Amino acid sequence: MSECMNFTEGEFYQEHFDSRAYAKNFYSCPRGHPDEKDFLTLILRCLSRVFSTGEHRGQRLIDVGSGPSIHSVLSAFEYYDEIVLSDFADNNRRELEKWLKNQEGCLDWKPILQRVCELDGKSPSDLEASLKQRVKNVLKCDVRLENPFYPHTLEPADCVITSLCLEAACKDIQTYRRALHGLTKLLRPGGLLVMVGVLGETFYKVDEQPFSCLKLNRYDIEEALRGLGLSIHEFNILPADDQRNKSVSDFEAVFLLVARKPSD
């Protein structure tokens, strides 16, 4: 997109990303942004299907690149004792901390919680409080680093989730592969990687501020994961509606994949 002449990496997010506008535009209702035709609903449904059976569980779950949002972990957190949320931008981490502490003016996730409970067949009454009890840290992360949480070294996780992060953070396929390698190193042997992302996207907007995106295809992602020794258990692709308004983003499809690190 001509408005994004240079790739908008982490430092650009730190200065220009409006966390509250992003939450309002994309997460104020379960359908997501009105110009993206049930984009968020698709993501929530996919995550529910992966986690709500309780098949995947363990001690620690790390959400890499949470933004200001908790949507990625809502179907998963009950099956893990410890949750780590993370983001590069200070504003995003501040919003997560405000929500955790029930501070005045914190973001309201009740509409999204309600929708996830409907999908998972659960009651929303205690879900939010239970999640807050399990969130042990909100940490700065930079997926461009070999250790995304440097200078911290985290205990290996049973599950790593990342949603709509790597394609926004990585300016080229080489950086993307290195980022995937870093995520893999966060996992214990046999650990689960769950990724939600977009194919074919070059930009998205928060209000009128454009952010660039690495244009990916399925082959790029599969080749990178297999090169790291991960086995891909699922790779689900949901094409975008060709009739939708592309003023806010130009993604061609949403994907969810489930991969596993080899056991020692």
- Six token digits for residue 211: 């952010």
Task: Answer yes or no: is 143 a known binding residue.
Answer: yes
Q: Find tokens 């094409």 and name the residue.
A: 239
Task: Answer yes or no: is 27 a known binding residue.
Answer: yes
3-class DSSP state of 218: helix
Task: Answer yes or no: is 126 a known binding residue.
Answer: no
Task: Answer yes or no: is 65 a known binding residue.
Answer: yes
Q: 231-239 and 253-260: which strand pairing?
A: antiparallel
Task: Answer yes or no: is 108 a known binding residue.
Answer: no
How many whole angstroms separate alpha carbon 93 and alpha carbon 87?
6
- Give the CA-trace dihedral at 170, 222, 48, 249, to 10 degrees: 40
Contacts of 37 (CB under 8 A, 6+ apart): 240, 241, 244
How many whole angstroms separate alpha carbon 234 and alpha carbon 251?
20
Residue type, 163: S
For residue 88, report the phi and psi dihedrals to the nearest 5 degrees. -75, -45
Task: Answer yes or no: is 125 a known binding residue.
Answer: no
Task: Answer yes or no: is 92 a known binding residue.
Answer: yes
Annotated binding site for S-adenosyl-L-methionine: 22, 27, 65-66, 87, 92, 142-143
Annotated binding site: 22, 27, 65-66, 87, 92, 142-143
